[in-house]
C-alpha cells in the first residue's frame, strides 16, 4: 500500500528465484499436454507421445536407481555380482555399465515380468508400486537368497553375508525414519502460533497418540551411540551421500517439523512428490536484507491498515485480518513469483475476513474509495443503474497495478454473497473464461486464487465440488491456488466441533494436491510457502493449498465478544504479540532494520492512511467499473436496447444443416445415428418437421457462424440425457471424436460442449462465473432433470436472481431445465418453475411501458423465465440472448416427451429473418367458431398445450381457444391483454399440469387479473384448472399420473 511508495521498490524475488531447467520444463510441458487432452483440441496439435513415454521411463529409471542404491548401500559399500550376468563387480550399481544393465533389466521386466529372476521381479514391482523405500526388505532377503543359491558376493569390501544383512537392516531403518518424517512430520510441526494444542489440548484429534515415537531414532533400535555413525542416503536426501544419523534427523526436522508442515505423500505422481521433496529438504538460502525489509513493509501495511480502520471507524464491522496479517506478505510474494513465471491476470474469490486489507494492499484499490464505503452515502449512479447495493465486504472490483518487479498484473475480485464458499466455482469459471478469451491454452497466464476460512473450507460441500474441477478437461484452470486463513475458529465454534477431519484442508487430499501448513507467526515461512505454491502451480498445472495457521485477535466481527465462548483461547490471544511485533523485533535483533528506520516506515504508512482518510470525505466515485473492456457498449437497464431480429437466412440455415449432418470420411458412425442424421437432414432440406434438438443445433450453429462462442455444460450434455442431442459423435472403432458444430465449414466461433461432473451447485456456479467474463458467448447450464437444479439454489438465489441488482454485473447465463409431468415420479417431473418465478422482480400490479420501440421491460427485470412449446420459438429465444445489447439470465423449462412429439415440430419458415421470438402464441386453428363465440379461452404454458390440443381434436371441440404463454417472466401483459380481448365472451382459464401450489399459477394469476383490470377495463375472473395442491411435485405411480392428467385436461375442456 503506502509503504510501497515510500520505500525502495526492489523485488522480493531476487536471487532466490530459481528457474526450472529447460529439460524439466519440456518434460512438464508434454506431461501436462498429455494429461489435459483439451489442449489438443484447443490448439489442434498432436504431442509426440513417444517423447513423453521415453521421458516417463527415464523417470522410473532414476527413481529405481535411487531406491536401489539406498536399499543396498550401507557404511560398507556392498557390490553384489550376479554370476553370468553383465553386472560388473568393480563398478557401483548406480553408474556406468551396471546402471545401464539394471535399467535394461527393468525395461525387460516391464514388458515381461518373468524374463528376470523372481527376486528382481519383486524388487521392480515394489519400485513400480512406489512402496516406501524402507519397504524393499522382501527384495533384500530374496536377493540375498538368490545370492546364496549361486550368486556370489565378490566385493572385497564385503566380509560376510551378515554384514550385508546388517547394512540392509540399517538402510531399512533409515528409510523408515525418512518416510516417517515425510509422511507425518507435519503432525509435530510447530504450526500453531498460540500453542493451543499444548496449552488447551485443542488439537488432540490431529495428533494420534504415539505419533511422536515415530520420529525418535530409538524407536528404530538406534541408540545415542549411533547418532554419529554414518549411513549412506545416496540421493534420497539432498547434500552429502554419506551422513551421520544426527545430520539426517536434523535435515528431516528442519524440512518437515519447523514452522511448515507439509502433506504431500498422498499425491500419486512420483514426479510431483520428488519435486516437492527436493525443494523442501534442501536448505533454503536465507532471505537477503532487502527481501526481509520488503516482507516487513508488506506486513506493516497489513497491520497498520487494520489499526487505522479500528481507530477511525470503531463501531463499524470490517472483519479485520488481525492475527493473520502475514497473509498479505504471503500474497505479495505469491503474485510476484507468479508474475515472474508468466501470470498476468488473477481472479480472486475471498470471504469477508481481511477483504478490505486485500483490496487495499493486494488489488491496489484506492484507500480513499475503501474508506468512502464506511460513510452512509446514496448511490451516486442511481440514475443509470437500479439496484440494491451490497455491504462493503461483499463488493467486487477490478484493477491493474504494477508489481515490484515492474510488471503489470490485472486483478478481478469477484463479488460474493454471504454464503461462504459460494464464490469458489464462480471464480474458477470466470478464470477459465478469461483463459478462453485471452487464448491462454496453457493456462499459465491467468490464475484463480481462492481464499477460504477454516470452518467454511471444511464444512461447505461446494468446496469439494470446486476442487473436483481441478483436473477436468473442460473445467480446469491449470491449477487454482487456495489459501486457508486458518484462525482456528468459525464464529464461536471450535475446530473440534466444526469438523471430523484433523485439518480443515483434508478435503483437498481427494484430488491429490500438496498442502502446506504454515505457522502464521513466521512471516518468512508464509512467504516461502506461497512462493513454493506458485512454483508448483506453474510447473504442474495443478491445484495447491497453503493453510496459514493463525488466530483471530477480536471477535467474529469487531463488535462481537469472543470470551463468552472461548475464554482461554482469548486469554492467550490477549497476551500474544502481533505478527508485526514479532517480525519487526526479529529484524531489529538481526540488525536488518534500525528502530529509527522502522519507526520511519510506520509513520510513512500512517501518514498515507491519514491522507487517504481526509480525501475519502470528498471522494467522488468514478463511473462504476462493472463494464470491463469486453462489456464496453453494453447497455445498463436504464438505457434502451431495441429489440433485434433473431431470424436467419434460409441459405445459412441449410448450409449449417448440411454441415452438421455430414459424416467425415472414414468415420465409423454408430449405426443408430445414421437414422437420426438422416431425419435431421431431411427436415432441414424439406423445411418441414424440424424437431427440438435440430432447432437447438441451428440456434447454436448460427451463433457460431456469426462469431459468438457457445458453451453448453451439464451432466451427459454431449449426448443429451434423452439421447436427443448427439452433439459429439464417437467413432465406433477408435473412439475418435467428431463435433459437427465445430465443423461448419466456414469461419466460426468455438462450440464447447462439456459433460460435467455430477454436481449442480459447483457446475452452475462455474458457468455463471464463465458468463460474467464476457458478453460474447452464450453460456448454458443444463440440468439432467430440472428437479436437480435446486442443488444449486445458493447460486440461483444469490448470483443468478440478485447478482445484477447487488453488484451491477450482468450475466446472460441460460439454464436448460427439463420439466414436465410425464409420470416419471416426484424427482423427474418438476424443475420447480414456481421457485424461479417467485424470484422474478417484475411487479404483478403494475403494467410497464410495453410499446415495442420503447419497452425496457426485460432490461428492468432481474431475469427471464420461459417455457417454450415450439422448436422455432426455442431457436429464437436462444439467439435473442445474444442479439441484444444487454445480458440477462434466462431460465428455460425444456421438454422431455416433446423432444419426440409428432406435433412439436416447426417449419424452417419460422426460423427466417422475418420471424421473432413469440412471447405468447395465439390460437392458430381455423377450425374454430368466431372469436366472439368462443366460450372458453385457456391460457397455458409448455407441454400441457399438446395434451389440450390433442384432447380438443379428439373431442371435436370448436368453441375453446388455447393460448400459450411462452415467456412467463417478465409477464407479457400486452400480448395477454390482446388475447383476452379477442374473446370477449369467453371464460378465462389458466391450465397447468403442475400442482396448484406449484407451476406458474400463483405468478400468472395476479398478472392476468391486472391485465384484465387495467387493459380490458373489465373484471373477468381467472379460473384455475390443474392438479390440487400437493407436497411432492408428482406421484410415483404411473396409473395415478395418467388419471390425474386426463382429469385436468377434461376439466379444462368441459
Ligand X SMILES: Cc1ncc(C[n+]2csc(CCOP(=O)(O)OP(=O)(O)O)c2C)c(N)n1
User: Does residue number 454 form part of the binding site for ligand X (CB under 6 A)?
Assistant: yes
CB of 688 to ligand X, least distance (A): 52
Of the two residues 292 and 556, which places its CB atom closer to ligand X in the complex? 556
Which one, 460 or 487, has the nearer CB to Mg ion? 487
- C-alpha cell at position 708: 459468438
CB 587 within 8 A of CB 292: yes
How far is the C-alpha of 765 from the C-alpha of 416, rounded, in Å?
Answer: 11
Picked from ligand X, Mg ion, none, the partner binding residue 173 (CB below 5 to 8 A depending on kind) is none
Cis status, amide bond into 970, omega within 30 of 0:
yes
373 contacts which partner out of ligand X, Mg ion, none, CB within 5 to 8 A by kind? none
263-298 b/e (C-beta count within 10 Å ≥ 16 → b): bbbebeeebbbebbbebbbeeeeebeeebbbbbbbb
Return the SS3 of 82.
coil
Binding part of the chain for ligand X, among 241-249, 358-366, 454-462, 1039-1047 by CB under 6 A, reads 454-462
Chain residue whose CB lies nearest ligand X = 453
Q: Is 478 in the site for ligand X (CB under 6 A)?
A: no
| Strand blocks (E) in 221-313 | 230-232, 242-244, 260-263
419 binds, among ligand X, Mg ion, none (CB under 5 to 8 A by kind): ligand X
Instruction: Note every long-range contact of 86-91, with CB atoms under 8 Å and residues 24 or more positions apart, other chains counting.
Output: 89/154, 89/155
941 binds, among ligand X, Mg ion, none (CB under 5 to 8 A by kind): none
Cβ-based neighbours of 839, under 8 Å, separated by 6 or more: 796, 797, 800, 801, 862, 863
CB of 455 to ligand X, least distance (A): 3
Q: Binders of ligand X: how many residues, by CB under 6 A?
A: 15
Alpha carbons 463 and 1048: distance in angstroms, whole number: 44
User: By CB under 6 A, is residue 353 in contact with ligand X?
Assistant: yes
Q: Is 420 in the site for ligand X (CB under 6 A)?
A: yes
Among 11, 79, 416, 456, binds ligand X (CB under 6 A): 456
Tell me: does residue 453 bind ligand X (CB under 6 A).
Answer: yes
Q: Which stretch binds ligand X (CB under 6 A): 106-114, 233-241, 483-491, 729-737?
A: 483-491
Interface residue with ligand X, options 487, 752, 789, 859 (CB under 6 A): 487
> Which residue, 248 or 485, is less far from ligand X as judged by CB?
485
Indicate the residue among 455 and 777 with the shorter CB distance to Mg ion.
455
Site string for Mg ion, 469-508 (x = CB under 5 A): ------------------x-xx------------------
- How many whole angstroms separate alpha carbon 768 and alpha carbon 433? 10
Mention every residue, 6+ apart, whose C-beta is less than 8 A from residue 567: none
CA angle 550, 556, 560 (to 5 degrees): 135
**Strand pairing of 987-995 and 967-969?**
unpaired
Using CB under 6 A as the binding rule, the residues of this chain from 991 to 1010 that contact ligand X are none
Grid coordinates standing for 194? 498460540
Q: How far is the CB of 556 from Mg ion (least distance, A)?
A: 9
Scanning 228-236, 329-337, 455-463, 631-639 for contacts with Mg ion by CB under 5 A, the matching segment is 455-463
CB of 671 to ligand X, least distance (A): 50
| Residue closer to ligand X (CB basis): 284 or 491 | 491
Q: Which of 66, 419, 638, 719 binds ligand X (CB under 6 A)?
A: 419
What Rg value do the Cα atoms of the chain yield, rounded? Answer: 34
490 binds ligand X (CB under 6 A): yes
Question: If binding is defined by CB under 6 A, does position 455 make contact with ligand X?
Answer: yes
| Exposure letters 696-718 (e unless 16+ CB within 10 A, then b) | bbbbbbbbbbeebbbbbbbbebb
Report in angstroms how near the CB of residue 335 gets to Mg ion at its nearest: 23
Residue 823 binds Mg ion (CB under 5 A) = no
Q: Per CB under 6 A, which of residues 550..609 are in contact with ligand X?
A: 552, 556
How far is residue 529's CA from residue 532's CA, in Å, rounded to a whole number?
A: 5
Distances (CA, A) of 597 to 127, 490, 514, 603: 56, 38, 38, 10
Among 217, 329, 429, 453, binds Mg ion (CB under 5 A): 453
Q: Which three cell numbers stand for residue 376?
A: 452512509
Would you say 545 or 833 has its CB closer to ligand X? 545
Provide the grid cell at 948.
389440450
**Of 455 and 962, which CB lies nearer to ligand X in the complex structure?**
455
Q: Is 416 in the site for ligand X (CB under 6 A)?
A: no
Dist. CA 480–CA 534, nearest whole Å: 10
The Cα 508–Cα 510 span in angstroms is 5
Q: Which helix (H) or strand (E) holds 762?
A: helix 761-773
Q: Does 277 bind ligand X (CB under 6 A)?
A: no
Which CB atom, from 453 or from 701, has the smaller least distance to ligand X?
453
Q: Is residue 908 within 8 Å of 872, Cβ to Cβ?
A: no
Crossing angle for the helix pair 270-281 and 245-256, to the nearest 10 degrees: 100
Interface pick for ligand X out of 418, 985, 1018, 1046 (rule CB under 6 A): 418
Distance in angstroms (rounded) separating the CA atoms of residues 463 and 639: 38
Q: Binds 725, which of Mg ion, ligand X, none (CB < 5 to 8 A, cut-off by type)?
A: none
Q: Which member of 262, 348, 489, 534 binds ligand X (CB under 6 A)?
A: 489
Q: 40 contacts which partner out of Mg ion, ligand X, none, CB within 5 to 8 A by kind?
A: none
Q: Which stretch binds ligand X (CB under 6 A): 83-91, 105-113, 481-489, 1042-1050?
A: 481-489
C-beta separation of 995 from 829 below 8 A? no
The answer to the question of residue 454 lying near Mg ion (CB under 5 A) is: yes
Residue in 331, 485, 601, 700 binding ligand X, rule: CB under 6 A:
485
Q: Which of the ranges 177-185, 235-243, 418-426, 652-660 carries the binding residues for ligand X, by CB under 6 A?
A: 418-426
Query: Which of these ranges, 53-61, 280-288, 448-456, 906-914, lies near ligand X under the rule CB under 6 A?
Result: 448-456
List Cα–Cα distances, 843 to 368, 971, 1010, in angstroms: 38, 9, 10
Smallest distance from Mg ion to CB 310, Å: 19
The footprint of ligand X (CB under 6 A) covers: 353, 418-420, 453-456, 485, 487, 489-491, 552, 556
The footprint of Mg ion (CB under 5 A) covers: 453-455, 487, 489-490
Amino acid at each position: 500500500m503506502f509503504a510501497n511508495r515510500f520505500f525502495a521498490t526492489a523485488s522480493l524475488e531476487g536471487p532466490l528465484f530459481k528457474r526450472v531447467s529447460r529439460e524439466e520444463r519440456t518434460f512438464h510441458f508434454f506431461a501436462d499436454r498429455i494429461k489435459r487432452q483439451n489442449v489438443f483440441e484447443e490448439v489442434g496439435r498432436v504431442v509426440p507421445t513417444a517423447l513423453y513415454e521415453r521421458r516417463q521411463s527415464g523417470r522410473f529409471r532414476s527413481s529405481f536407481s535411487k531406491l536401489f542404491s539406498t536399499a543396498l548401500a550401507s557404511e560398507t559399500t556392498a557390490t553384489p555380482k550376479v554370476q553370468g550376468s553383465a553386472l560388473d563387480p568393480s563398478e557401483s550399481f548406480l553408474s556406468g555399465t551396471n546402471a545401464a544393465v539394471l535399467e535394461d533389466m527393468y525395461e525387460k521386466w516391464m514388458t515381461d515380468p518373468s524374463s528376470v529372476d523372481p527376486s528382481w521381479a519383486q524388487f521392480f514391482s515394489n519400485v513400480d508400486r512406489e512402496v516406501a523405500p524402507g519397504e524393499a526388505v522382501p527384495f533384500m532377503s530374496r536377493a540375498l537368497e538368490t545370492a546364496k543359491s549361486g550368486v556370489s558376493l565378490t566385493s572385497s569390501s564385503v566380509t560376510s553375508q551378515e554384514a550385508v544383512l546388517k547394512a540392509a537392516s540399517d538402510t531399512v531403518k533409515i528409510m523408515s525414519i525418512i518416510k516417517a518424517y515425510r509422511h507425518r512430520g507435519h503432525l509435530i510441526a510447530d504450526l500453531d502460533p498460540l500453542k493451543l494444542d499444548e496449552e488447551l489440548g485443542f488439537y488432540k484429534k490431529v495428533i494420534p497418540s504415539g505419533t511422536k515415537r515415530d520420529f525418535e531414532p530409538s524407536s528404530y533400535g538406534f541408540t545415542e551411540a549411533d547418532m554419529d555413525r554414518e549411513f549412506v542416503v545416496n540421493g534420497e536426501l539432498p547434500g552429502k551421500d554419506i551422513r551421520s544419523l544426527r545430520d539426517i534427523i536434523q535435515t528431516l526436522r528442519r524440512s518437515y517439523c519447523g514452522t511448515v508442515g507439509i502433506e504431500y505423500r498422498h499425491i500419486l505422481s512420483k514426479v510431483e512428490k520428488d519435486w516437492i521433496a527436493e525443494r523442501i529438504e534442501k536448505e533454503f538460502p536465507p532471505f537477503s536484507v532487502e527481501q526481509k525489509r520488503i516482507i516487513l513493509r508488506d506486513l506493516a501495511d497489513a497491520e497498520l491498515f487494520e489499526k487505522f480502520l479500528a481507530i477511525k471507524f470503531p463501531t463499524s464491522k470490517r472483519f479485520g485480518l488481525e492475527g493473520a496479517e502475514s497473509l498479505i506478505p504471503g500474497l505479495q510474494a505469491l503474485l510476484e513469483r507468479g508474475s515472474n513465471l508468466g501470470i498476468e491476470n488473477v481472479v480472486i474469490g475471498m470471504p469477508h475476513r481481511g477483504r478490505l486489507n486485500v483490496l487495499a494492499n493486494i488489488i491496489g484499490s484506492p484507500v480513499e474509495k475503501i474508506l468512502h464505503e464506511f460513510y452512509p452515502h446514496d448511490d451516486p449512479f442511481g440514475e443509470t443503474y437500479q439496484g440494491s447495493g451490497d455491504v462493503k465486504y461483499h463488493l467486487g472490483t477490478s484493477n491493474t497495478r504494477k508489481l515490484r518487479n515492474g510488471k503489470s498484473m490485472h486483478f478481478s475480485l469477484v463479488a460474493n454473497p454471504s454464503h461462504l464458499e459460494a464464490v469458489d466455482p464462480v471464480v474458477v469459471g470466470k478464470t477459465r473464461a478469461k483463459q478462453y478469451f485471452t487464448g491462454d491454452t496453457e493456462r499459465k497466464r491467468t490464475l484463480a486464487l481462492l481464499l477460504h476460512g477454516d470452518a467454511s473450507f471444511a464444512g461447505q460441500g461446494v468446496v469439494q465440488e470446486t476442487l473436483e474441477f481441478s483436473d477436468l478437461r473442460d473445467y480446469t484452470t491449470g491449477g487454482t491456488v487456495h489459501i486457508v486463513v486458518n484462525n482456528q475458529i468459525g464464529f464461536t465454534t471450535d475446530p473440534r466441533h466444526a469438523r471430523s477431519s484433523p485439518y480443515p484442508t483434508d478435503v483437498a487430499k481427494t484430488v491429490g494436491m500438496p498442502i502446506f501448513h504454515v505457522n502464521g507467526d513466521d512471516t518468512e515461512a508464509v512467504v516461502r510457502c506461497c512462493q513454493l505454491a506458485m512454483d508448483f502451480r506453474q510447473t504442474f498445472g495443478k491445484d495447491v493449498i497453503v493453510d496459514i495457521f493463525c488466530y483471530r485477535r477480536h471477535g467474529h466481527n469487531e463488535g462481537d465478544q469472543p470470551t463468552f465462548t472461548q475464554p482461554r483461547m482469548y486469554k492467550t490471544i490477549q497476551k500474544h504479540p502481533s505478527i508485526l511485533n514479532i517480525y519487526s523485533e526479529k529484524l531489529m535483533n538481526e540488525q536488518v532494520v534500525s528502530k529509527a528506520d522502522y519507526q520511519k516506515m510506520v509513520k510513512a504508512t500512517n501518514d498515507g492512511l491519514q491522507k487517504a482518510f481526509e480525501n475519502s470525505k470528498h471522494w467522488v466515485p468514478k463511473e462504476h467499473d462493472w463494464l470491463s473492456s469486453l462489456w464496453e457498449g453494453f447497455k445498463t437497464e436504464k438505457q434502451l436496447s431495441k429489440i433485434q431480429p433473431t431470424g436467419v437466412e434460409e441459405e445459412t440455415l441449410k448450409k449449417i444443416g448440411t454441415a452438421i449432418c455430414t459424416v467425415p470420411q472414414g468415420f465409423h458412425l454408430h449405426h443408430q445415428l445414421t437414422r437420426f442424421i438422416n431425419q435431421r437432414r431431411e427436415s432441414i432440406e424439406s423445411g418441414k418437421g424440424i424437431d427440438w434438438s435440430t432447432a437447438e443445433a441451428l440456434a447454436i450453429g448460427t451463433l457460431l457462424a456469426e462469431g459468438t462462442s457457445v458453451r453448453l455444460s451439464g451432466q451427459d450434455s454431449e449426448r443429451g440425457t434423452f439421447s436427443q442431442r448427439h452433439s459429439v459423435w464417437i467413432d465406433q472403432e477408435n473412439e475418435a471424436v467428431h463435433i459437427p458444430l465445430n465443423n461448419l465449414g466456414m469461419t466460426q466461433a468455438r462450440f464447447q460442449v462439456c459433460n460435467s461432473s455430477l454436481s449442480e451447485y459447483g457446475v452452475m456456479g462455474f458457468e455463471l462465473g464463465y458468463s460474467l467474463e464476457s458478453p460474447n458467448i452464450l453460456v448454458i447450464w443444463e440440468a439432467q432433470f430440472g428437479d436437480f437444479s435446486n442443488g444449486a439454489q445458493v447460486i440461483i438465489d444469490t448470483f443468478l436472481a440478485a447478482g445484477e441488482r447487488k453488484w451491477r454485473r450482468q450475466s446472460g447465463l441460460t439454464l436448460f431445465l427439463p420439466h414436465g409431468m410425464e409420470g416419471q415420479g416426484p424427482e423427474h417431473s418438476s424443475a420447480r418453475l414456481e421457485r424461479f418465478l417467485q424470484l422474478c422482480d417484475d411487479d404483478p400490479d403494475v403494467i410497464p411501458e410495453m410499446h415495442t420501440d420503447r419497452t425496457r421491460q426485460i432490461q428492468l427485470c432481474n431475469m427471464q423465465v420461459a417455457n417454450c412449446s415450439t422448436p422455432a420459438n426455442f431457436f429464437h429465444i436462444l439467439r435473442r440472448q445474444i442479439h441484444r445489447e444487454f445480458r440477462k439470465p434466462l431460465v428455460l423449462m425444456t421438454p422431455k416427451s416433446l423432444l419426440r412429439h409428432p406435433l412439436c415440430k416447426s417449419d424452417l419458415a419460422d426460423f427466417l429473418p422475418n420471424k421473432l421470438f413469440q412471447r405468447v402464441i395465439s390460437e392458430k386453428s381455423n377450425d374454430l367458431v368466431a372469436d366472439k363465440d368462443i366460450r372458453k379461452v385457456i391460457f397455458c404454458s409448455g407441454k400441457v398445450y399438446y395434451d389440450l390440443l390433442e384432447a380438443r381434436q379428439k373431442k371435436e371441440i370448436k368453441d375453446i381457444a388455447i393460448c400459450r404463454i411462452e415467456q412467463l417472466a417478465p409477464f407479457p401483459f400486452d400480448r395477454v391483454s390482446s388475447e383476452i380481448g379477442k374473446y370477449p365472451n369467453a371464460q378465462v382459464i389458466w391450465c397447468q399440469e403442475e400442482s396448484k401450489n406449484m407451476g406458474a399459477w400463483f405468478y400468472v394469476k395476479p398478472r392476468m387479473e391486472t391485465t384484465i383490470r387495467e387493459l380490458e377495463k373489465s373484471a373477468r375472473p381467472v379460473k384455475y384448472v390443474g392438479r390440487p395442491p400437493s407436497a411432492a411435485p408428482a406421484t410415483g405411480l404411473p396409473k395415478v399420473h395418467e388419471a390425474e392428467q386426463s382429469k385436468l385436461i377434461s376439466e379444462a375442456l368441459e
